[in-house]
Amino acid sequence: MNHVLIKKYDPLKKEMLEILDKDGKIINPTLDPKLDKETLLKMYKTMTLGRVADLRAVQYQRQGRMLTFAPNIGQEATQVGAAAAMQQGDWLSPAFRELNLMLYRGVPLSNIYLYWYGNENGSKFPRETNVLPVNIIIGSQIAIAAGIAMASKKQGKNEIALATIGDGGTSHGDFNEALNFAGAMEAPLVVLVQNNQWAISTPRSVATKAETIAQKAIAAGIKGIQVDGNDPLAMYVAMKEAREHALKTGPVLIEAVTYRIGAHTTSDDPSLYRDEKEVEEWKLKDPNERLKKYLISQKLWSEEEDIALDEENNKYVQEVFAETEKSGLLELEEVFKYTYDEMTPNQVEQYEYYKKFLEGSK
């Protein structure tokens, strides 16, 4: 593999990788990955489930039945396209807006809902997914992923670590430090920047003067590429090549140009700082509709199947949340047990102390 895309698409020239346009038509046939039906449908079904789960989560939060939630609407293709190109043993070190990526990697929706419901059992992802818990401290997930990638390299494993972050997060120190470390060590790391144009209320143009986020890779001596984040095929192709490059040569930074249709979180009101016309313009680039049109044009999907899938998704999401509301309180050991592989002597001492205290107060 010559990694021609990483070499061809120069972030300094603002060259963006695109394959599928907003109408679901192939505009770059030489780069069409020609994915099989099973993969394409898995991608689409994950994106549609993520959309329904997202809309429902906001409703539950507004009803006072869920804590703060970070909407993902508009960013489905960025996440699923990248996830589809990953391999079984690869690792994901996420931020907090990766619902679709997690679903594709095998994290149950029940875990995701439990987390946003305020139940730490939601962070107990199945081990085989190789997905780390949600990381709220912006930028630190990149350093964690760099460490995992370095460990995989030292152990001779054919695995990469994927870390995700928003455009605003690339201005944080942890992001740059981790990129520099991974580059110097030639660690098999891929960093996916979800450039959704807004760092809460700070627009992309104010958060950094870099003309592209992808060009931030250059200072670290690694490769960077800008991709249409609403194009699932382009994201797949970029991630597939980035993975191969990371294993052979070192880190890659992918800037996925997308848009956050909803609020930053349910605690935010975007109408206070952005123009609704901008939002409407981006809605025309809806990644889910784009892939749906493509699938129908290829006779791999139909409107009838789409209606049935929507009903199935809504039923499933409501059933999952009904179980979430029955989850109850956590056991005391949950506070201590999962910081390390085994509790330290100090943790054991504290745990026993508070256990006796709680038993005595009953």
The rounded distance, in Å, linking the Cα atoms of 342 and 170 is 34
Is the domain of 43 the same as that of 187?
A: yes
Which residues of the chain carry a pLDDT beneath 50? 1
User: Is 3 designated active site?
Assistant: no
For 131, the 3-state DSSP assignment is: strand
CATH number reported for the structural domain that contains residue 12 in this entry: 3.40.50.970
Per-residue confidence (pLDDT) for residue 328, from 0 to 100: 86
The dihedral of CA 314, 315, 320, 325: what is its sign?
A: positive
User: Are 99 and 89 contacting, i.e. CB atoms less than 8 angstroms apart?
Assistant: no
| 3-class SS shares of the chain: helix, strand, coil, % to 5 | 50, 10, 35
Q: Tokens standing for 351?
A: 């745990």
User: Are 94 and 131 contacting, i.e. CB atoms less than 8 angstroms apart?
Assistant: yes
The rounded distance, in Å, linking the Cα atoms of 71 and 240 is 26
Is the domain of 200 the same as that of 347?
A: no
Per-residue confidence (pLDDT) for residue 60, from 0 to 100: 98
Is the domain of 269 the same as that of 352?
A: no
The rounded distance, in Å, linking the Cα atoms of 200 and 215 is 22
Is the domain of 337 the same as that of 194?
A: no
Range of the domain at 278: 4-330
The rounded distance, in Å, linking the Cα atoms of 49 and 202 is 29
User: H or E segment at 189?
Assistant: strand 189-195
Is the domain of 191 the same as that of 206?
A: yes
Is the domain of 152 the same as that of 301?
A: yes
Is the domain of 356 the same as that of 275?
A: no
Is the domain of 173 the same as that of 213?
A: yes
Of the residues 273, 316, 340, 353, which is catalytic?
A: 273
User: Is 273 designated active site?
Assistant: yes
Per-residue confidence (pLDDT) for residue 359, from 0 to 100: 85
Is the domain of 257 the same as that of 355?
A: no
**Amino acid making up residue 319:** E
What 353-361 contacts at long range (C-beta under 8 Å, 24+ apart), as own/partner pairs, is 358/332
pLDDT in tens, 295-314: 999 999 999 999 999 999 99
Is the domain of 189 the same as that of 311?
A: yes
User: H or E segment at 17?
Assistant: strand 16-17
Q: Tokens standing for 308?
A: 């049935």
Q: Number of folded domains in the chain?
A: 2
Of the residues 105, 260, 290, 294, which is catalytic?
A: 260
Per-residue confidence (pLDDT) for residue 1, from 0 to 100: 46
Residue 268 backbone zone (phi > 0: left; psi -120 to 50: alpha; other: beta)? beta
Residue 88's alpha-carbon distances to 47, 292, 311, 346, in angstroms, are 20, 26, 30, 36
Is the domain of 279 the same as that of 144?
A: yes
Is the domain of 285 the same as that of 350?
A: no
User: Is 51 designated active site?
Assistant: no
Q: Tokens standing for 224?
A: 């960077």
The rounded distance, in Å, linking the Cα atoms of 314 and 53 is 8
What is the separation, in whole angstroms, between the first and last Cα of the chain?
Answer: 65
